[in-house]
Amino acid sequence: MYSQKIQNLSESATIAISTLASELKAKGRDVLSFSAGEPDFDTPQVIKDEAIRALNSGFTKYTAVAGIPELREAICKKLKKDNNLSYTPKQILVSNGAKQSLFNIFQALINDGDEVIIPAPYWVTYPELATYSGGKPVFINTDENSNFKITAKQLKEAITSKTKILVLTTPSNPTGMVYTKAELTEIAQVLKDTKIWVVSDEMYEKLLYGVSFTSVASISDDMMKRTITVNGLSKAVAMTGWRMGYLASVDDKLVKLMDNLQSQCTSNINSITQKASVVALSGDADNDIEMMRDAFEKRRDLGCELINNIAGLSVQKPQGAFYLFINIKGVSRFGGDSMKFCSELLSQEGVALVPGSAFGMEGYVRFSFACSTEQITEGIKRIEKFVRG
């Protein structure tokens, strides 16, 4: 029989819905998908040029498991320059997307029964990986009044003798909210004198709209020691398919243990991606990154305005990332049932959204605005027709 562990693991809901939308499209249905958390832009040309150079020069062999030295150095430079974090190349592990970084971390830290505190709504992968590693997810529920952010008080109440990890995602997927330095300082105060690790997922750090960003580890020496910083190139540089993510920790031994794990399952990430990633981090693609950020900001403004004009729907303006987390509680015929809302919307209007239930919060649906303004306008027109009934 199959292992109990694997049978308990769910498929990624965000990927499942995006795949379903693509299948319906391939069958000829007129489907507009707002389900994938994936930039619609192409990878900047300078990065592709470097990949082609690497390929043509025969850079096609195994590399160090943790990544080529020049890439780990480029990551250290980025973390110092953008985030004021000092790491050495030995403290960096490059993986097949931030997803594998998270997998490595949970496997390396969790013993059976350890608790992982996850603020809800959360990105779909955290509870699954925590459980798969033998841990127990403990959710802290947030709401619109706190801009979907946890408070220091809530954290204090959630901590037990079994708490091993706190996961923080800023900017958040699915809400787009960004923790301020003051909020993180209060959280740091609660963690002081505990043995709790912090996993700081900073995947959407480059997609900010008029707010400043603080890396969790930069709050204090204590936070630097307990935090594992996770980031990658998928979202900021439109490189989802290249599979480049990384983690950083000042605990050399922990990084080495995760390197051992990776050496036994996947080894290094694609060698060509590594060369291209050095260029992506070098600053040569910064104009492209800013062009994408600027386009996302305009789409966010458009999406929020159109949604907030629909009776029964409302959305708080996200400060980062590229998702609208839309409140559907005012559409009385659904009673807040996000799955029912999404499946009827897909079958009646051909619009794919992700139900809030996948992110641990009913009464909401996630709309990705990582697509053209024309698609946003047309999609929301269909949503309006659907909501009117």
**Which residues here bind ligand GLU, judged by CB under 6 A?**
12, 14-15, 36-37, 123-124, 173
Which among 147, 168, 201, 180 has a CA at the least distance from the CA of 318? 147
Q: Least distance to ligand PMP from the beta carbon of 99, Å?
A: 4
Does residue 98 bind ligand PMP (CB under 6 A)? yes
Residue 125 or 331: the one with the smaller Cβ distance to ligand PMP is 125
Selection from ligand GLU, ligand PMP, none that 36 binds (CB < 5 to 8 A by kind) is ligand GLU
Cβ proximity of 290 and 363 under 8 Å: no
Angle at 126 between CA 120 and CA 130, to 5 degrees: 120
18-37 residues in contact with ligand PMP (CB under 6 A) are 37
H helices present in the chain, as ranges = 4-7, 13-26, 45-56, 69-83, 97-109, 125-132, 152-158, 181-191, 221-226, 252-265, 271-282, 286-308, 338-349, 373-388
36-75 residues in contact with ligand PMP (CB under 6 A) are 37
Q: Least distance to ligand PMP from the beta carbon of 100, Å?
A: 7
Please provide residue 60's backbone torsions phi and psi, each rounded to the nearest 5 degrees.
-130, 25
Selection from ligand GLU, ligand PMP, none that 201 binds (CB < 5 to 8 A by kind) is ligand PMP
Question: Given candidates 39, 97, 135, 355, which one binds ligand PMP under the rule CB under 6 A?
Answer: 97
Q: Which two tokens stand for residue 366?
A: 């996630």
Residue 278 or 324: the one with the smaller Cβ distance to ligand GLU is 324
Q: Least distance to ligand GLU from the beta carbon of 17, Å?
A: 9
Q: Is the link from the previous residue into 174 a cis peptide, with omega within 30 of 0?
A: yes
Does residue 121 bind ligand PMP (CB under 6 A)? no
Cβ proximity of 302 and 317 under 8 Å: no
> In the 8-state DSSP scheme, what is residue 210?
S
Stretch that binds ligand PMP, among 91-99, 105-113, 158-166, 331-339 (CB under 6 A): 91-99
Does residue 104 bind ligand PMP (CB under 6 A)? no
Q: Least distance to ligand PMP from the beta carbon of 231, Å?
A: 8
Question: Given candidates 67, 119, 127, 245, which one binds ligand PMP under the rule CB under 6 A?
Answer: 245
Which of 137-146's residues contact partners 24+ apart within 8 Å by CB, and which partners?
138/163, 139/360, 141/360, 141/361, 144/316, 144/327
Which among 268, 281, 384 has a CA at the least distance from the CA of 326? 384
Q: Least distance to ligand PMP from the beta carbon of 311, Å?
A: 31
Residue 166 or 387: the one with the smaller Cβ distance to ligand PMP is 166
Q: Least distance to ligand GLU from the beta carbon of 98, Å?
A: 9
The β-bridge relationship of strands 364-368 and 323-327 is antiparallel
Selection from ligand GLU, ligand PMP, none that 232 binds (CB < 5 to 8 A by kind) is ligand PMP
Q: Which two tokens stand for residue 145?
A: 């009044």
Does residue 201 bind ligand PMP (CB under 6 A)? yes
261-320 residues in contact with ligand PMP (CB under 6 A) are none
Selection from ligand GLU, ligand PMP, none that 98 binds (CB < 5 to 8 A by kind) is ligand PMP
Selection from ligand PMP, ligand GLU, none that 15 binds (CB < 5 to 8 A by kind) is ligand GLU
Which among 353, 44, 83 has a CA at the least distance from the CA of 216? 83
Question: Given candidates 127, 135, 137, 232, which one binds ligand PMP under the rule CB under 6 A?
Answer: 232
Selection from ligand PMP, ligand GLU, none that 245 binds (CB < 5 to 8 A by kind) is ligand PMP
Neighbours of 337 (CB within 10 A): 18
In angstroms, the CA 70 to CA 387 distance is 52
Stretch that binds ligand PMP, among 63-71, 95-103, 326-334, 380-388 (CB under 6 A): 95-103
Does residue 203 bind ligand PMP (CB under 6 A)? yes
In angstroms, the CA 353 to CA 356 distance is 9
Q: Environment class of residue 182 by beta-carbon count within 10 Å: exposed (0-12), middle (13-18) or buried (19+)?
A: exposed
Q: In DSSP terms, which residues pair with 69 in a beta bridge?
A: none
Chain positions contacting ligand PMP, by CB under 6 A: 37, 97-99, 123, 169, 173, 201, 203, 232, 234, 240, 245
